[in-house]
Amino acid sequence: MTERHRVEGWSGALRDTIARHHAMPFEWGVCDCARMLGDCLLAVTGSDPLAGYRWTTPTGAKRALKRAGASSAVEFFSRHGVEIGPAFGQRGDFGIVAGDVDALMAPAVIDGAFAFSKNESGNVVVPISALVRVWAA
């Protein structure tokens, strides 16, 4: 089992962060899947691995990944997190769903029986059983 660092008050902060992002419209670099993930990781662990990267378009997001030395979000996660079996995902961890192979796939943050994210169509809520790759926060 992977040791997880959690800051004081993380549980409520995680729920508040998910609710805040789901109340806002999608906007690249402001309220998109990566910004939501970064804000959730900050709420849970006190650290946002995406803090130094900014973008306002899908092309800009891909360039940010390239500046980080990664060709995709999955590669970025694998460099900055510990991948665990999907069955071991806990609140605050994050993952991706089957078939989400785009370089900018939407990472979903686990909270209870569901994982939450955003995409250009709006809010994303999937059962955690849909996650095929998971990283510990």
Q: What is the pLDDT of residues 59-108, one digit of tens each?
A: 998 899 899 898 888 888 888 789 999 999 999 999 998 765 555 577 89
CB 109 within 8 A of CB 94: yes
Give the pLDDT band of residue 42 (cuts 50, 70, 90). very high
Show contacts of 61-70: CB within 8 Å, 24+ apart.
61/28, 61/29, 61/32, 61/34, 61/104, 62/103, 62/104, 65/103, 65/104
Q: What is the pLDDT of residues 4-39, one digit of tens each?
A: 889 999 999 999 999 999 999 999 999 999 999 999
pTM of the full structure? 0.90
CB 119 within 8 A of CB 27: no
Cα separation, 32 vs 51, in Å, equals 14
Give the pLDDT band of residue 49 (cuts 50, 70, 90). confident
Query: What's the confidence (pLDDT) of residue 72?
Result: 85
